[in-house]
Structure 1
């Protein structure tokens, strides 16, 4: 059975806009659920601005979490000097080391590179 419905352009545009609004609301609801469950965090503007200004992400996220270099190194299972060298740019850090640091900071590896 092949039924066809004809509607005005105005009605079509209204329905399309309503569908887009619904999709936006669904994305918003998922984001809020992730925040409520602790799956996602909101990063304060002060720290976002530091990242945008090009400051080392390890240092910014470490400060955000309120950790010293020694505390981060201990939590990540890496040497404190390694953390300091990554933060100052003297070393890039291996993927394995950066992954440990990211896990200790509760961020994705992509957030650090």
Structure 2
């Protein structure tokens, strides 16, 4: 971009403004957005590396999006049996089985215990 396409405007307050062609402005905005995307990706990768962020394979995400029982999908993602999760959550195997099959929704207390045992939030089971 040549200097002849840039204009400067002096405001009464003394502030100096720069006027550039719209195409140049759009390139600047695109470059800034790209930089912000790269920074966000680096932050996510750092959280994955330090264990504060978790990657969930598409297979499990698709099952959740497909309406499969969230407790069952998360249990299988964590590679736990029904018995193992029930024990870790401190609830009965039959109660957990009923939640997974949809026979009952489970009490908030049970769902909270299951979420804790699966190391997820209650919202992840909603």
Asked if these proteins are the same fold (TM beyond 0.5), I'd say: yes
In 2, distance between residues paired with 1:59 and 1:8?
Answer: 56
Q: How many residues align?
A: 113
Q: Provide the residue aligned with 1:67 in structure 2.
A: 80
Taking structure 1 as the reference length, the TM-score comes to: 0.90
User: Which residue, out of 50, 54, 66, partners 1:41?
Assistant: 54
| SS of equivalent residue, structure 2 residue 19 | coil
Q: Provide the residue aligned with 1:55 in structure 2.
A: 68
Instruction: State the 4+ residue runs in structure 1 displaced beyond 4 angstroms.
Output: none
Q: Which has the larger radius of gyration?
A: 2
In 2, distance between residues paired with 1:34 and 1:100?
Answer: 25
Taking structure 2 as the reference length, the TM-score comes to: 0.82
Unmatched runs of 5 consecutive residues or more in structure 2 = 1-13
Which structure features the higher share of helix residues?
1
Unmatched runs of 5 consecutive residues or more in structure 1 = none
Higher relative contact order (CA 8 A, sep 6+): 1
**Most deviating of 90-99 and 60-69:** 90-99
RMSD, aligned CA:
1.3
Which structure features the higher share of strand residues?
2
